[in-house]
Amino acid sequence: MAKTRKAAPKRKARATKKQREFTTRYAAVFGTTIKDKDARVIGRRLEQLHKKHKDLTPETVLEDARRPQSVLHKYFEWDDTVAAEKWRREQARQLVKAVRVIIESDGEEPREMRAFVRVVGEEKKAVYLPAIEAMSDANYRRQVLDQLRKELGDIQTRYGRVLDVAQLFDAIDAQLRRMKVA
């Protein structure tokens, strides 16, 4: 017979001078496919899984999501044929993104960049173009720089409060503004 332990009564933590009381809420990361209301549900469940298992891993999340009654279940594709095709598309994206180009010019240091960049093409469809070609077209250049600004904003959101990098982001933003004008 398993022993059961009485739960300790809940206590409100007292804040010391160094500690501050805070509350948290979950919201969707900009650019993802979920909405804020979904993020709240997902975030709470992920927090519960973390507390239960002490570690939060993709395997833990998937194990929970396999149960049809899990709040996470509906966010997964359970038709293996469809899921396999989606995964292959993702692998194709990763292949395209994994290649870089090294540009060598007489008397200059070699420059490296991603070989292909994602843009919205003429048919209003996302396509990959060679980075050099994209940067030579005003519309595609604007799209590439807008994407760069978004990604840097994501990094700033993720790490800006943790690391003291405000001046770095200001300098990058100023350089991006200069590039947009050029």
Q: Tell which phi-psi region holds residue 124, choosing left (phi > 0), alpha (psi between -120 and 50) or beta.
A: left
Q: Residue 5: is its pLDDT beyond 80?
A: no
pLDDT at 137 over 70: yes
Among 36-45, 107-116, 164-173, name the one with the lowest average pLDDT. Answer: 164-173
Rounded to two decimals, the pTM is 0.65
> Quick one: pLDDT at residue 162?
63
Residue 159 reports pLDDT greater than 70: yes
Asked if 130 and 114 touch (Cβ cutoff 8 Å), the reply is no
pLDDT of amino acid 17: 54
H or E element that contains 141: helix 138-159
Residue 16 is predicted with a pLDDT of 55
Residue 64 and residue 168: Cα distance in Å, rounded? 41
pLDDT, tens digit, for every residue of 77-98?
999 999 999 999 999 999 999 9
